[in-house]
Amino acid sequence: MKVQDLMSKPVVTAKADDSLESVARQMLNKKIGSVVVVDSAGQATGIITESDFQAHEPAAPLDSFRQPKLWGQWIGLHGLDDVYAEARRIKASKIMQKTIVSLREDDPAERAVDLMMRHEFHHLPVLRDGKPVGMVAHHDLLKLAMARARAA
């Protein structure tokens, strides 16, 4: 089985200057966990996943005090509502991951499984000549499991 047999399409994309609020709205409306950020030519320049909208606790050496951080702001100082209100002003380019681990349509499905396990990714864009043509998510791997079960 090839990646093209697993991938979901079309790919939902955003522009680097879109607000995080509009990116989040797209993800919620389409019930997806990631968007590919593209430039004016449609070339993939980054990816935003639902984990980019979650607060993280940065490690502080020799410090027992822990405070979550989201988009470069300490949540305890501003309050969660204020931080999420910032999503109207923050651009996708600020939080997108610029290094994109991707697949090709003709890659074997096992490559998707390997990359997801090795890097703990939940979404992998499928690119053709640098442009997104599909997305493989964890739930798409169920297709692989079902195909294997039918063949057995």
Domains located in the chain, CATH noted: 3-151 (3.10.580.10)
Residue 44: what pLDDT? Answer: 98
Q: Long-range contacts: 140-143, Cβ < 8 Å, 24+?
A: 140/6, 140/7, 140/8, 140/112, 141/6, 141/112, 141/113, 141/116, 143/5, 143/6
Residue 150 or residue 32, greater confidence: 32
pLDDT at residue 104 is higher than 90: yes
Q: Which of 26-30, 88-92, 108-112, 125-129 has the highest mean pLDDT?
A: 125-129
Q: What percent of the chain has pLDDT over 70?
A: 77
Please say if the pLDDT value at position 105 is more than 80. Answer: yes
pTM for the full model? 0.80
> Percent of the chain having pLDDT more than 90?
56
Q: What is the mean pLDDT of residues 84-110?
A: 89
